[in-house]
A and B are shown apart, each in its own frame.
Chain A
Amino acid sequence: MKTNLEIVQEGYANFLQGNIPALMDTLSDNIEWELPASAHVNFSGVFKGKDAVMNFFRNVDNENTFSEFAVDSYVANGNYVIALGHLTATAKSTGKISSNKWAHLWQLEEGKVVKHYEYADTAEIRDAFSN
């Protein structure tokens, strides 16, 4: 049986390969996914259930071109895995490039992700998507 850390690590590996269906398989049907809401950012807000999270990934893909996305470290304990990382992306709607250091909280129950919360520099995201 995989550890929670391994499940999350495989999720990032799948994301980086563009294999979103494999990442979706690690989520609970009751998944609650959140990147705090920003105006003009369609991949922000609270996404409940797998269909909503799939829309999140579609919007991420439709609205961004990533030039860098990396996990720098993981901290895992009990039901929680926290990934710390950074990214650089171009907002397709404005052409603006922004960098972001982030912390992603993953909460798992019985081997499935029930909660994902993104602590991100939302001011950077807002500015990138504002004209």
Chain B
Amino acid sequence: MSPKEILKAMYDAFATGNIPFILETISEDFTWKDPCDPSVVPYGGLRQGRKGMMNFFQAIGNSTNLTAWEVTDYVSEGDTVIAEGKHGFQSKKTGKGALLDWAMVWKFKDGVPVAGQSYYNTADCENAFREN
């Protein structure tokens, strides 16, 4: 499978809650960067390895209810695939929601995802987790 096809399979797995598939697909030393401040957004900041990613998905599940999820486009070139989409959620702590456009940049090596980074409207995201 091409990097783009692998990534599509991973997003399909995410949409159905099949997190183990994602953890088995990424490399053991995979790194993920989320641009939000981890002191505000429980899943923000840097994660490393499969265990780190497991914690990332647990942090999302523990802190938010998913209200919308969509992957709209894939743009790929060589070992890089960029996915774009929408993420809607409600903070369990504050009850406030956000609908965010995102881009996620995935780096592959020898057909295996080794790193990822997301880009999105961090101000709107952090607002949803703030009480006032």
Contacts and interface: CB of A to CB of B under 8 A. Distances in A.
A75 B101 contact: no
Contacts, number: 60
A101 interface: yes
Contacts of A131: none
Interface string B118-132: 011111111000000
A36 interface: yes
Contact of A84 (B36, B105, B125): B105
Q: On chain A, which size bracket covers the interface?
A: 20 to 34
B110 interface: no
A7 to B, nearest CB: 16
Given A36-B121, A38-B123, A119 B73 contact: no
Contact of A102 (B76, B80, B119): B119
A122 interface: yes
Contacts of A120: 119, 121
Interface string A106-131: 00000000000101111111100000
Contact of A36 (B73, B84, B105, B123): B123
Most chain B beta carbons < 10 A, residue from A77, A102, A125: A77
A53 interface: no
Contacts of B102: 119
B101 A117 contact: yes
B80 A121 contact: no
A48 B3 CA distance: 35
Contacts of A76: 75, 77
Interface of B: 35-37, 73, 75-77, 80, 82, 84, 101-103, 105, 117, 119-126
Interface of A: 36, 38, 73, 75-78, 80, 82, 84, 101-103, 105, 117, 119-126
17 contacts: A36-B101, A38-B123, A75-B75, A75-B77, A75-B105, A80-B73, A102-B119, A103-B82, A103-B105, A119-B121, A121-B122, A122-B124, A123-B37, A123-B122, A123-B123, A125-B123, A126-B123
